[in-house]
């Protein structure tokens, strides 16, 4: 039953405006993005050289003129993320207060790692340290100083700053989606800027841009990855490098991605991520044991210390007093690449992070992957440089200079059991690309479906096949480099908008933290006369009611009490609405342009505590129900079952008083 107390109220208008589209295809985003992708692919295929030259020149101009802006922006993002870790906002949950994490810690880390940078470590774990060793920015090439600088700069490019970019985009999306019930699409990041206009054509444009950016980012990575896999097969098994082989690899990867996408996030992507994480840890341990173990452990500690000690210097170093192209070719390029991938990776991380606090989320996204990356880069990079510098294996440096895609395989060939280990590494590369494709297809499908993940199978097929078809066309006709450069150039305008979105998020977090400070969540005491009947109170404590008992309590006690409060507020010209359903009663008090007050009582199931030794001999998990209070922020974790109407009314009034005090603090 639904009872409207006033015609002026609009229950949850800011979130219900979007619900009518749930589980439906967003046709404007779907159609417009598909058309733009087709046009850009066609133009790139018809004029590959011209497009490559155009975007290369544009990228060079951006790096030359806006390099300082990239450096300052990434530094600001990093500082903002670290501040959120230690600030009062860290205790806020990405979801209602009662929300629990959807995935275990290890599963969550495995999925964000696979989507975030797993493939990058496979190809640059050896290549980048060796390239910096041969051509360092300031040290003498092929020297001890070059070794230190090589690892320090590799840490810098793959460490905290890059993950801070992913973390802040994911945090904005997760916070506004799970905490404020906005759709889990990129448009929600713009809510602080344009408000409810995100539900109009403006939001469709934002999501369509994110679809196009994600498709091209995943496609170009898949295209180049296919060529790298082909090079690895040629290096290991003498398989010819040809378009035919590359097309077969594309078909194989897309076929695996289709199977994974059909299985869903909780099966396909989750299991592949777990498998790859186990294999990655195993390969890392093998390199540590097979290489100079003691030296690598010492190097890890020293590399980390050098990275941290020079963190501020490297963050703001623009080589302003030196004439060098190194910064643009490496650091600025990396920052632009991280930023261009952040809508895709950030949205995926947000999708799997519901129920975690901001502090837990940021520690997990920022520090744990960075720590694993530092170990990976040290064990692989230092081992490779040690082979070159100490053992004189200059062929490894020549192989990396000639083709960085075979750096990993050239390095593993010098270790014991090289054929077996190299084959395992190749399998890992393939799985990493599969997880990139299926997670990319999932993100695009959500962007084109109002943030819904439970979509028809044909939509997931469409986007997964689309990635494979676009990659195939570009492989056959050229144009991969042009689209990659275009994706990187697009990072500049996105960075401007991201900074504004971060400001909006901080504004929202400050408001919420102020509200939390204004509320004392201690349970309201029951009125005198009721609380003195200690036998009745004790009976309530040890009684575990059934669902029917709690539902009867909601209809007979809670609903009338809440109606009385609503009636009294209406007499004071304050708009209210009461919703009475079978398992919940909700009171909403509207306050024009200020946050609404929501007081709900819901029947929630729990497992009985073991108060008696043999209480649960027949059923290890006997269930009972509680009448729990929920506010706008979520469940408050206290039960009002068996409270009299007067006590319920007092609780509503006290919570409303706290809310009004919160509104007062906002002024």
Indicate whether 3 pLDDT > 50. no
Q: How far, in Å, CA of 94 to CA of 358, rounded?
A: 7
pLDDT of residue 528: 44
Pairing of strands 623-631, 594-607: antiparallel
Mutual orientation of helices 201-237 and 27-46 as an angle, nearest 10°? 50
- Residue 363 DSSP SS3: helix
Average pLDDT for 606-632: 73
pLDDT of res. 621: 58
Has residue 18 got a pLDDT over 70? Answer: no
Q: What is the pLDDT of residues 143-178, one digit of tens each?
A: 999 999 999 999 999 999 999 999 999 999 999 999
Residue 528: CB atoms within 10 Å = 7
Q: What is the pLDDT of residue 252?
A: 92
The pLDDT of residue 5 is above 70: no
Whole-number pLDDT of residue 611 = 65
346 or 453: which carries more pLDDT confidence? 346
Q: pLDDT-based confidence at 603, cuts 50/70/90?
A: very high
Residue 2's pLDDT is what?
44
Q: What is the mean pLDDT of residues 499-513?
A: 87
pLDDT digits (tens, 9 = 90+) for 511-542: 888 777 665 444 444 444 444 566 766 777 77
DSSP string, 573-595: T--EEEEE-SSEEEEEEEETTEE
* Inter-residue contact 474 to 37 (CB < 8 Å): no
Average pLDDT for the chain: 85
User: Which residues have CB under 8 Å from 596's CB, separation 6+?
Assistant: 12, 588, 589, 590, 632
pLDDT in tens, 284-324: 999 999 999 999 999 999 999 999 999 999 999 988 888 77
Give the count of beta carbons closer than 10 Å to the beta carbon of residue 227. Answer: 19
- Kindly calculate the radius of gyration of the chain based on its CA atoms and give it in whole angstroms: 28
Q: What is the DSSP string of 320-334?
A: TTS--SHHIIIIIHH
Give the pLDDT confidence score for residue 22 in this predicted structure: 44
Predicted TM-score (pTM) of the model is 0.82
pLDDT for res 612: 58
Distance CA 210, CA 500 (A): 17
pLDDT in tens, 541-574: 777 888 999 999 999 999 999 999 999 999 999 9
| % of the chain at pLDDT higher than 90 | 43
Q: What is the pLDDT of residues 446-456, one digit of tens each?
A: 999 988 888 88
Poorest-confidence range of 21-25, 324-328, 546-550, 636-640?
21-25
* 429 neighbors 228 (Cβ within 8 angstroms): yes
Classify residue 18 by its DSSP letter.
T
Q: Tell me the mean pLDDT in the region 478-494.
A: 78
Go through 263-300 and write b for each residue having 16 or more CB atoms within 10 A of its CB, e for each that does not: eebeebbbebbebbbebbeebbebbbebbbeeebeebb
Q: Provide the pLDDT for residue 513.
A: 81
At 335 the pLDDT is: 92
Alpha-carbon distance of 470 to 459, in angstroms, equals 16
Give the mean model confidence (pLDDT) for residues 96-104: 87
Both structure tokens of 134: 């041969």
Q: Are 450 and 186 in contact (CB under 8 A)?
A: no
Could you read off the pLDDT of 127-150 as tens digits, one per residue?
A: 999 999 999 998 999 999 999 999
Predicted confidence at residue 20, as pLDDT, reads 38
CB-side neighbour CA atoms (13 Å) of 226: 27
- Cβ proximity of 187 and 195 under 8 Å: no
* Nearest C-alpha neighbor of 581 from the set 605, 602, 556, 597: 602
Residue 4 has pLDDT above 50, yes or no: no
Q: What is the pLDDT of residue 231?
A: 83
Q: Is a pLDDT exceeding 60 seen at residue 613?
A: no
Q: Give the pLDDT confidence score for residue 251 in this predicted structure.
A: 92
Q: What span, in angstroms and rounded, lies between the C-alpha atoms of 601 and 627?
A: 6
Which tens digit of pLDDT belongs to each residue from 357-389? 999 999 999 998 999 999 999 999 999 999 999
Average pLDDT of 621-634? 86
């Amino acid at each position: 039953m639904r009872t409207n107390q006033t015609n002026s109220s609009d229950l949850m208008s800011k979130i219900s405006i979007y619900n009518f589209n749930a589980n439906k295809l967003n046709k404007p985003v779907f159609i417009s993005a598909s058309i733009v992708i087709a046009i850009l692919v066609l133009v790139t295929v018809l004029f590959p050289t011209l497009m490559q030259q155009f975007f290369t020149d544009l990228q060079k101009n951006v790096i030359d003129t806006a390099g300082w802006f990239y450096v300052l922006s990434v530094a600001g993002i990093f500082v903002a993320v670290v501040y959120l870790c230690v600030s009062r906002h860290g205790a806020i949950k990405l979801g209602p207060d009662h929300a629990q994490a959807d995935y275990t810690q290890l599963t969550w880390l495995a999925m964000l790692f696979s989507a975030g940078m797993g493939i990058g470590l496979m190809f640059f774990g050896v290549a980048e340290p060796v390239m910096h060793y041969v051509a360092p920015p300031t040290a003498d090439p092929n020297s001890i100083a070059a070794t230190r600088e090589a690892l320090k700069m590799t840490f810098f490019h793959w460490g905290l700053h890059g993950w801070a970019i992913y973390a802040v985009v994911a945090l904005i999306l997760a916070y506004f989606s799970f905490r404020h019930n906005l759709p889990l699409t990129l448009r929600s990041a713009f809510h602080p800027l344009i408000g409810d206009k995100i539900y109009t054509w403006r939001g469709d444009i934002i999501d369509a841009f994110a679809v196009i950016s994600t498709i091209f980012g995943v496609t170009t990575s898949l295209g180049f990855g296919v060529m790298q896999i082909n090079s690895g097969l040629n290096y290991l098994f003498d398989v010819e490098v040809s378009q035919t082989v590359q097309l077969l690899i594309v078909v194989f990867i897309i076929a695996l991605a289709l199977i994974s996408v059909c299985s869903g996030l909780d099966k396909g992507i989750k299991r592949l991520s777990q498998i790859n994480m186990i294999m990655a840890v195993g390969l890392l341990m093998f390199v540590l044991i097979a290489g100079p173990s003691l030296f690598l452990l010492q190097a890890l500690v020293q590399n980390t210390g050098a990275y941290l000690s020079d963190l501020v210097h490297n963050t703001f170093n623009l080589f302003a007093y030196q004439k060098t192209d190194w910064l643009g070719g490496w650091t600025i390029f990396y920052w632009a690449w991280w930023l261009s991938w952040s809508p895709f990776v950030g949205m995926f991380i947000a999708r799997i992070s519901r129920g975690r606090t901001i502090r837990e989320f940021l520690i997990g996204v920022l520090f744990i992957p960075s720590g694993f990356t530092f170990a990976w880069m040290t064990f692989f990079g230092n081992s490779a440089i040690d082979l070159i510098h100490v053992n004189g294996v200059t062929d490894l440096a020549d192989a990396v200079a000639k083709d960085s895609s075979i750096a990993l395989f050239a390095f593993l060939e010098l270790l014991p059991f090289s054929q077996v280990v190299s084959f395992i590494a190749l399998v890992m590369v393939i799985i990493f690309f599969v997880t990139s494709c299926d997670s990319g297809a999932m993100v695009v499908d959500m962007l084109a479906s109002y943030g819904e993940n439970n979509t028809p199978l044909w939509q997931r097929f469409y986007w997964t096949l689309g990635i494979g078809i676009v990659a195939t066309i570009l492989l056959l006709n050229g144009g991969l480099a042009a689209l990659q450069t275009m994706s990187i150039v697009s990072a500049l305008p996105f960075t401007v908008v991201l900074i504004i979105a971060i400001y909006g998020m901080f504004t929202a977090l400050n408001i919420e933290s102020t509200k939390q400070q204004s509320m004392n969540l201690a349970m309201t005491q029951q009125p005198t006369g009721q609380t003195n009947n200690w036998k009745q109170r004790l009976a309530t404590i040890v009684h575990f009611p059934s669902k029917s008992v709690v539902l009867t309590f909601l209809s007979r006690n809670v609903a009338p009490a809440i109606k009385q409060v609503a009636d009294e507020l209406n007499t004071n010209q304050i708009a209210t609405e009461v919703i009475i359903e079978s398992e919940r009663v909700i009171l909403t008090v509207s306050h024009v342009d200020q946050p609404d007050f929501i007081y709900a009582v819901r029947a929630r199931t729990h497992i009985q505590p073991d108060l008696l030794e043999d209480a649960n001999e027949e059923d290890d998990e006997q269930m009972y129900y509680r009448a729990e209070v929920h506010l706008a922020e979520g469940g408050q974790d206290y039960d009002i079952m068996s409270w009299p109407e007067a006590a319920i009314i007092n609780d509503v009034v006290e919570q409303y008083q706290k809310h009004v005090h919160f509104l007062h603090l906002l002024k």
